[in-house]
Amino acid sequence: MTRRDFVRMSASAVAAGAAMKATMLAPAALEAEAATGRKIRFVIVGTGIRGCDLLKAARQVPTGECVGAADLYKTRHLAAKEAWGGDFPTTRDYRTLFERKEVDAVLVATSDHLHRRVTLDAVAAGKDVYCEKPMSHSVADGLAMVEAVKAGNRIFQAGSQRVSSILYAKAREIYASGRLGEVHSIDAQWNRNSPGGAWVYPIPADASPQTVDWDRFIQDAPARPFDPVRFFRWRLFADYSSGLGGDLFVHMLSGVQVITGLNTAPTRALSSGGLYHFKDGRDFPDFLETIYDYPSSNGGIQVHVHCNQNNNDADERISFFGSNGTMVVTGNSVTFTPQDVAPHFEGYGWNGMTDAQREQGMDEWLAAHPAPPPSVIPNQVESYTVPHGYNDTADHIANFYRAINARQHVVEDEVFGNHAAIGCHMANYSYFNRTIATWDEATKTIKG
Ligand SMILES: NC(=O)c1ccc[n+]([C@@H]2O[C@H](COP(=O)([O-])OP(=O)(O)OC[C@H]3O[C@@H](n4cnc5c(N)ncnc54)[C@H](O)[C@@H]3O)[C@@H](O)[C@H]2O)c1
């Protein structure tokens, strides 16, 4: 075979070199930490769906202990104890828990519109705070929280738990290694196709003004008569929630931030979408997509985020498209696929030329590339997965406890959490105002 023949064939040989290297990642042994540091005594405010999940995850972290819970719906006092698997004082009024000196920290898992109030009260009582995502319900809320945490010199962690995942650590390592080449395009999606995925959550039979402290729920929200739909399905309503932006975009933007190291608000956001199926009186679209511009030292990064509540063809995934390869992060895997960037004679452009021109083109190309291309292209796909049952929320809680003991900021601190939340608010601003949303750092506001 002449070198000419080889060059002609090399493009079709690319796939032949591909191979898969699969690795199972090992989680940290949290039980082994029991002997280190002081045990953190925490109380939790909000013991609904997420609060109970936090308590279950916290059981895996022996360096902390739940010593009290507050919730506005009475039956959830029992749900909290079941989730934790033990007893502790419960109340509707979290302030009685914050008064207790032995309490180190507060886990905040209320509806979004009360994150600010509970966080500011916790900080004022001298407690460290783990606040569920999205950190804020508005830009003003987020800025007030950043300010209060800083002034109170508290440890704060926002609750996008993927930031502490061993999967995301692997993705960050691959990204930082430079093996992706230049990355300017990131695509993030998270889809669902069920009523529960669209927040049509159960309303318990015992829900009433006697079992629910409605007045406390509508603090910092417009006054209304008791409405169990608003209480149990608050994600549908802008008074308490930020819709898909605050529920799902925030996880993906936090993922992009931690993997790329970009800790900043986007500069621009352009959204589209619509409310197509769940026309049940909700305020938010059930399909939302946003293109963000992020400033970056490599010239810029576009992040395309899209969430569909009427199709689940591909679940949670973030794809990073680099000049040397592609990395895809899903709920339980990271895959890195390098691209063949070795120089090749590209015959396509010579179609429509004469045979003599094409032959001359190849002669020139061969002269410019005297070394033969590698006979086997190093095209190994790497895949990393987590063991079945791995719980990144337990790792996130463990990071919070470690930070409290060490008095050191976590990665997803108030500034990081605020940046991700601003991205969510920009998505909604663009969607509802039908304009490009821009972040004005000088005034710290979103402008149209
Ligand atoms: N990190 C994640 O993966 C994740 C998953 C789900 C929800 N979340 C977040 O967790 C938070 C809670 O969501 P949810 O699905 O559990 O909602 P939920 O409605 O099931 O529970 C919220 C609970 O907060 C309580 N609450 C509200 N205000 C309170 C107050 N002032 N004092 C005491 N209790 C109060 C309510 O009584 C309710 O039981 C939200 O911010 C949500 O975005 C995060």
What pLDDT is stored for residue 33 in this prediction? Answer: 76
Residue 281 φ/ψ, nearest 5 degrees = 95, 5
Q: How many CB atoms lie within 10 A of CB 38?
A: 10
Residues 19 and 381: their CA atoms lie apart, in Å, by 6
Q: Residues with beta carbon inside 6 Å of ligand 1?
A: 45-46, 48-51, 70-73, 76, 94, 109-112, 114, 132-133, 159, 161, 216-217, 234, 247
Mutate which of 43, 44, 50 for ligand 1 pocket (most atoms within 8 A of beta carbon): 50
Q: How far is CA 199 from CA 52, 202, 287, 412, in A?
A: 17, 9, 13, 26
Alpha carbon of 116 to ligand 1 centroid (Å)? 13
Alpha carbon of 11 to ligand 1 centroid (Å)? 54
Residues 432 and 245: their CA atoms lie apart, in Å, by 12
Nearest by Cα to 289 from 119, 448, 427: 427
What pLDDT is stored for residue 343 in this prediction? Answer: 86
Alpha carbon of 3 to ligand 1 centroid (Å)? 66
What pLDDT is stored for residue 12 in this prediction? Answer: 41
What pLDDT is stored for residue 169 in this prediction? Answer: 98
Ligand 1 atom, smallest distance to 234 CA: 19
Token pair belonging to 279? 């026309």
Which residue type occupies 446? I
Nearest by Cα to 384 from 43, 24, 7: 24
Which residue type occupies 191? N
For the full predicted model, state whether its pTM sits above 0.85: yes
- Measured by CA distance, the residue closest to atom 6 of ligand 1 is 50
Q: How many CB atoms lie within 10 A of CB 275?
A: 16
Alpha carbon of 408 to ligand 1 centroid (Å)? 27
Interstrand relation of 90-91 and 156-158 (parallel, antiparallel or unpaired):
unpaired
- Measured by CA distance, the residue closest to atom 33 of ligand 1 is 71
Per-residue pLDDT of the chain in tens (448 residues, 90 and over written 9): 565 555 554 434 444 456 889 999 999 888 777 767 789 999 999 999 999 999 999 999 999 999 999 999 999 999 999 999 999 999 999 999 999 999 999 999 999 999 999 999 999 999 999 999 999 999 999 999 999 999 999 999 999 999 999 999 999 999 999 999 999 999 999 999 999 999 999 999 999 999 999 999 999 999 999 999 999 999 999 999 999 999 999 999 999 999 999 999 999 999 999 999 999 999 999 999 999 999 999 999 999 999 999 999 887 999 999 999 999 999 999 999 998 888 888 989 999 999 999 999 999 999 999 887 665 455 689 999 999 999 999 999 999 999 999 999 999 999 999 999 999 999 999 999 999 999 999 999 999 9
Alpha carbon of 381 to ligand 1 centroid (Å)? 40
Ligand 1 atom, smallest distance to 76 CA: 39
Alpha carbon of 109 to ligand 1 centroid (Å)? 4
Residue 377 φ/ψ, nearest 5 degrees = -80, 125
Alpha carbon of 77 to ligand 1 centroid (Å)? 13
Residues 391 and 256: their CA atoms lie apart, in Å, by 20
What pLDDT is stored for residue 314 in this prediction? Answer: 81
